[in-house]
Structure 1
């Protein structure tokens, strides 16, 4: 993993965790927080490698898979066994994994509680020594409160607990200020000294965009990315051999020719508020010959992991994601983050733009500010304690492709209509409401 010098959060948090103390670690995105808790867990696990030793909770499924990969790499010499227990995957297969008592379980709260409630006693969490809440600011919200309460009741009281977060919120404050339980010390707290919440290598801009022509501005930026990002452009993938019908071959060749006419952008993540918007933008950009893939909660887990793999492998340069992709994901050399929609909560901005400019590298964040967003951008600037720079684009150049983009908009909307995306969204909302009313844990999982 090419780790030579520990980061500030690793230097601060690893010794107290090794000494047995609870810990709250606060550090900027991309600063190595996962390693700060993974190494102490593995060090202590080597002395007692039996049973489920550590439970790591995350708010999103994709982050759970990423943490499991890092444990596998760091713990290879120990032959560490991990299990990822998240929604969208087969429960029977997960139950069998849990019965084998892996050393480290990485889970979303809803799914692990489901397993505990349905288990007939073949496994339990009675030997858990470490509990980790990664992205703790997101986990310590009302959304996850019922599941966390259940887990705190069944976990050993003498466990070590550690919380890690890039954004310090009132819920983290409440935990830090709470009096320690009998026999326990107050947790060790490492908090960022800098007032600015985002990293210094990140250039942050906003563009004032009329909402009805956002698509034209997005297309222009992707076709004409800022010069500072150009060195991160990736070569297009090798064409694959296709043995299907001649008609399909002909269509593929035509599409490939169109793709070649537009130089693909450097690796870019576009964040939006709703799954429907992510699906719409993916269809729009594909119609405009920009290779894109989506990541949102209406996709199956296999589809979500496939999208991430294609983006990580640079096969597809543009990932269009809701906030399921904003937390903790460590993808190498993301050049640009674009906020199509500004986040509802200002702290989510920090997590979104933290997908670029990681581990000391540079990056660029561009936020679209429409006529409805002025208050939101002020809240974000207050949160991160800095002003965003305005990026000015030539409106004349942006609107040169307006007819092409307008045609693509119509086709993208027709595709969503044909796929009955709106109907499926309404069905999902009804199901979600029913689950919430019934108190089922799975309804809270992203």
Structure 2
């Protein structure tokens, strides 16, 4: 498959998982954890047994699909098949795929429960259960569904749990369903910052869109993901960017699954170079070549920041993460810095002159690239004719003007989103931080119970639920 050296999570997880021990791996997407749990799962498969022997439970449809694709690549030589099972796709189509006797299933919790109840997925021969991105499943309200799934497995099985963060509810889940698990932690700096330059821009809410466009013009990212806090925000941002001539498309939980998959395919192929997304819709996306991540809105909780910026700086490549913060969100920004153990560098708002210079530089780079590739040779005769009557500098200047994209000033108005605030609350005579979204509070634990999986993976992130800030 082209692997030469294991990543830290692979190097530490594979030998432990091969022994059959339960394992907790603290690692985000992009560190190679699918292979870290995929290889031991493959080694544990009995090829003489025509039954499902392993489950991977993931929070989103996209992640379930990607995990299945990766496992099918890993298992290709041994002819081990993995079927993805998720909400939003015709269940009869999935039933037909399951009749082909796959050894592994990658599933979202709600749809997996549907299949278990229909007896189209039987759990009698399960040997390994993987909980992938457990903290996100917690945030989306899937924990009770996961407990129901694991309670219904009759046989002894190995559990591998992977999570970028370790809130108390995840630890309790591990205590309930895991037997003396070994904890493997990839250091925070390895998770978040090695290959990612992190910046922030302090600005007013109504400045954000114009500043974003200026930065896109100056930096000319190959592929960029822009995060908005709500579905409405994503819709308005993608429409506004398209109005100004950028190739941008949006994804969130209310967009039909087939359209989301089409948008992601276009982004992977480079047909679209800007993807605007909510946290959950972009969670687990494994897309190589993303050079920039823009946090147009701060995430509801510091943990989500880790997952957002993990979309860039992958596979040893460099990436940039730029976060927009209004003046009233400084405390929230500090909480993110405390968690990542790294200070963000302040970026100034770029001036119009800097944008013009950036556009001109991009045009120069495009010309040079064309010359280096030899793509201009068939225009040599036309160029010679031009130079007979015009000065060379004038000809090149005209070519640059044609290539250069003038900064677009088309008016775009976004609905304002209230800033996040860092607020101290007193509880049992002890102070602790409790970050709340200004546009709608984070709600208590009991409000979330039973919502997530039953609705087949709808995007809950924009509602701002966060179990980590539960009050006692």
If the length of structure 1 is used for normalisation, what is the TM-score? 0.79
CA distance, structure 1, for counterparts of residue 149 and residue 312 of structure 2: 33
Match for residue 154 of structure 1 among 152, 155, 163: 152
Question: Which of these residues, 143, 162, 169, is aligned with residue 145 of structure 1?
Answer: 143
1:326-345 to 2 correspondences below 5 Å: 326-345=282-301
1:54 Cα deviation after fit: 0.8
Q: Does 1:407 align with 2:422?
A: no
Distance (whole Å) between structure 2 residues aligned to residue 70 and residue 214 of structure 1: 37
Residues 227-306 of structure 1 aligned to structure 2 (within 5 Å): 265-306=221-262
Q: Which residue of 206, 211, 216 maps to 2:200?
A: 206
Which residue in 1 is equivalent to 2:341?
385
Q: Check 1:305–1:439 CA distance in 2 against 1; reply closer, same or farther (3 A cut).
A: closer
Aligned 8 A contact 2:141 2:452 in 1: no
* Cα separation, partners in 2 of 1:403 and 1:9, compared to 1, 3 Å: closer
User: Residues 398, 341 of structure 1: CA spacing in aligned structure 2 closer, same or farther, 3 A cutoff?
Assistant: farther
Question: How far does residue 57 in structure 1 lie from its aligned partner after superposition?
Answer: 0.6
**Aligned-partner Cα distance in 2 for 1:161–1:344:** 30
SS in 1 for 2:338: helix
Distance 1:52 1:220, change over 3 A: same
Residue-by-residue CA offset, 1:83-124 (whole Å, 9 max, x unaligned): 11111111121123234432111111011112222x1x4541
Counterparts of 1:48 and 1:153, CA distance in 2:
27
Structure 1 contact 108–445 (Cα < 8 Å) conserved: no
Helix, strand or coil for the counterpart of 2:213? helix
**Displacement of 1:269 after TM fit?**
0.3
**8 Å contact from structure 1 (residues 85, 105) kept in 2:** yes
Shift of 1:134: 0.5
Mapped contact 1:146–1:441 kept (Cα < 8 A): no
Match of 2:329 among 357, 373, 382: 373
Q: Give the match for residue 441 of structure 1.
A: 454
Q: Which of 329, 334, 356 is 2:312 aligned to?
A: 356
- Partner-residue secondary structure (3-state), 2:285: coil
In structure 1, how many angstroms separate the alpha carbons of the residues matched to 2:263 and 2:98?
27
Paired residue for 2:468? none
Q: Number of matched residues?
A: 381
Alpha-carbon distance between aligned partners in 1 of 2:57 and 2:251, rounded to the nearest angstrom: 21
1:29/1:358 contact within 8 Å kept? no
The answer to whether the Cα contact below 8 Å between 2:61 and 2:86 also exists between their aligned partners in 1 is: yes
Kept in 2: contact 1:114–1:442 (CA 8 A): no
Q: How does 1:70-109 map to 2 (within 5 A)?
A: 70-109=70-109
1:190 maps to 184
Of residues 206, 216, 219, the one that matches 2:213 is 219
Q: 1:151 to 1:395 in 2, by over 3 A?
A: same
Q: Secondary structure at the match of 1:270?
A: strand
Displacement after TM superposition at 1:127 (Å): 1.0
SS in 2 for 1:379: helix
| C-alpha spacing 1:197/1:170, structure 2 compared with 1 (3 Å) | farther
Unaligned 5+ residue runs, structure 2?
357-404, 417-446, 460-472
Tell me if structure 1 keeps the 8 A contact 2:86–2:456: no
Distance 1:270 1:36 in 2: 29
Give the whole-Å Cα distance in 1 for the aligned partners of 2:77 and 2:412. Answer: 52
Paired residues for 1:29-68 under 5 Å: 29-68=29-68
| Separation (CA, whole Å) in 2 of partners of 1:346 and 1:64 | 24
In 1: Cα distance, 2:62 partner to 2:9 partner: 23
How big is the shift at 1:396?
5.0
- CA deviations on 1:108-149 (whole Å, 9 max, x unpaired) are 1011112222x1x45411111110001012224570122112
Please give the TM-score of this superposition, normalised by the length of structure 2: 0.74
CA gap 1:88/1:189 in 2 versus in 1, 3 angstroms: same
Q: Matched residues in 1 for 2:452 and 2:137: separation?
A: 17
Aligned to 2:6: 6
With 312-321 and 80-89 compared, the bigger mean Cα shift is at: 80-89
What is the alpha-carbon distance in structure 2 between the residues aligned to residue 201 and residue 342 of structure 1?
21
- Any gaps of 5 or more consecutive residues in structure 1? 231-264, 414-433
| Equivalent residue number for residue 125 of structure 1 | 123
How far apart are the structure 1 equivalents of 2:233 and 2:121?
Answer: 42
Judging changes above 3 Å, is the alpha-carbon distance between structure 1 residues 444 and 70 closer, same or farther for their aligned structure 2 residues? closer
